[in-house]
């Protein structure tokens, strides 16, 4: 779990928007090289979704999701107090990933990265009705993507809808260009 902070650097974990923008491809390559991840994900949510924001802020939940992702998956999410920043971040990244209009919030967008390209995009559409169910859906979506058997502790998320994106490859440089263009408007 790697938070992207609107401003500042957080508490030792994560990146601010500017450093994330500059280093996105490097971060993915570094995680792959250091065997910290085999795939990546973004958690997208609506700023008004207070339940999911609570889930992502909870240290216990953060630790459980981080342990689940382990060295298989690096999960990024925007940690912002601004509705404008979250909305613009979602809209522009959905457009660049070629999934705008295909999904609704909240969702988890999984992808692989190799040779400077983003590929094999898969989307888990979440329907988190409340705090408890939202956590189970998020946990279950990550667990299912990783290919693990679902445990008895976490029920199979009934309302998670999976979508495979039609886009084949997105060059990391094109993605970075989007980040660079978006950054001044996001801050």
pLDDT of 92 above 90: no
Rounded Cα distance between 182 and 95, Å, is 12
- With 0-12 CB in 10 A as exposed, 13-18 as middle and 19+ as buried, what is 168? exposed
Q: Which pLDDT value is given to residue 173? A: 60
114 Cβ partners below 8 Å, 6+ apart? 32
Residue 96 · residue 172 · CB < 8 Å: no
Listed residue (156, 58, 54, 43) closest to 105, CA to CA: 43
Q: Which pLDDT value is given to residue 31? A: 93
Average of pLDDT values for 19-34? Answer: 83
155: confidence class by pLDDT, cuts 50, 70, 90: very low
- pTM of the full predicted structure? 0.76
Q: Which pLDDT value is given to residue 10? A: 46
Residue 101 · residue 123 · CB < 8 Å: no
129-141, pLDDT tens digit by residue?
566 677 888 898 9
Tell me which range, 63-72, 132-141, 156-165, is most confidently predicted by mean pLDDT: 63-72
CATH 2.30.40.10 fits 2-186, yes or no: no
Rounded Cα distance between 6 and 81, Å, is 8
């Amino acid at each position: 779990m790697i938070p992207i902070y609107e401003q500042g650097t957080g508490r030792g974990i994560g990146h601010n928007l500017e450093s994330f923008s500059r280093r996105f491809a490097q971060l993915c390559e570094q995680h792959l090289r250091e065997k910290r991840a085999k795939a990546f994900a973004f958690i997208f949510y609506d700023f008004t979704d207070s339940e999911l924001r609570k889930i992502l802020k909870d240290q216990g939940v953060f630790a459980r999701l981080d342990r689940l992702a382990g060295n298989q998956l690096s999960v990024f999410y925007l940690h912002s107090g601004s509705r404008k920043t979250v909305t613009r971040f979602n809209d522009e990244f959905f457009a660049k990933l070629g999934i705008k209009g295909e999904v609704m919030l909240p969702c988890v967008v999984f992808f692989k990265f190799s040779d400077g390209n983003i590929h094999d995009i898969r989307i888990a559409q979440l329907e988190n009705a409340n705090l408890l169910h939202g956590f189970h859906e998020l946990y279950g979506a990550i667990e299912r993507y990783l290919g693990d058997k679902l445990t008895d502790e976490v029920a199979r998320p009934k309302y998670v809808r999976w979508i495979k994106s039609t886009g084949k490859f997105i060059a990391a440089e094109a993605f970075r260009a989007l980040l660079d263009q978006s950054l001044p408007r996001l801050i």
